[in-house]
Amino acid sequence: QQQVKQSPQSLIVQKGGISIINCAYENTAFDYFPWYQQFPGKGPALLIAIRPDVSEKKEGRFTISFNKSAKQFSLHIMDSQPGDSATYFCAASGMGRRALTFGSGTRLQVQP
Amino acid sequence: KAGVTQTPRYLIKTRGQQVTLSCSPISGHRSVSWYQQTPGQGLQFLFEYFSETQRNKGNFPGRFSGRQFSNSRSEMNVSTLELGDSALYLCASSWRENTEAFFGQGTRLTVV
């Protein structure tokens, strides 16, 4: 019940296109859902996060959509750029714990 | 504001040895969590410390241990190293529960 399932495993998008990464969770006690971006040789960097009381959050080109009833959330990267090429991880936490349960990651490649 | 600092960045150890990794959180953050990242298992939670107390522990053997000092700096120790312990060990700091966790660049441990 602690799992967070992420798809797709890899994604190739053309420059200027929209990148969409999906995650699904099982534990209804999760109440914090962040997305992280990781470049090779670096630690994950927090991109954007959402809580279940809102259905959408936008920060610049990055948008999280959240569907509480379906227990799903997704990351949309608008106007994708080659510099966005990285691995993206969704995560979840809750029950007063700081421990994050991570998805398996999506390797995004944005082609020029 | 300085980020999360992990030292050393790289380590090579021999099977059977022990290793200690260090993490200095962002100033003012009292929570430190540790994660192991491997290609096969992804990002997995090790343990979490808050105000020098271990709050949560992941599903790792007792060879993995940690502690937190009064200045919030944390160390993790792995004893009797195995080849499978080769991984990127990441430290994350946060201010309180279910808030943004910021990761360091990690310590790349190679066990030979």
Average pLDDT value for residue range B98-102: 83
Q: What's the CA gap between A41 and B24, in Å, rounded?
A: 19
pLDDT band at B20 (very low <50, low <70, confident <90, very high): very high
- The alpha carbon dihedral of A110, A11, A38, A23 has a sign of positive
**Which B residues in the span 7-66 are in contact with A, Cβ-Cβ below 8 Å?**
31, 33, 35, 42-45, 48, 50, 55-56, 58
- Amino acid A99: pLDDT: 87
Is B72 a residue whose pLDDT tops 70? yes
Q: Write out chain A's pLDDT in tens, 112 residues.
A: 569 999 999 999 999 999 999 999 999 989 999 999 999 999 999 999 999 999 999 999 999 999 999 999 999 999 999 999 999 999 999 876 778 999 999 999 999 9
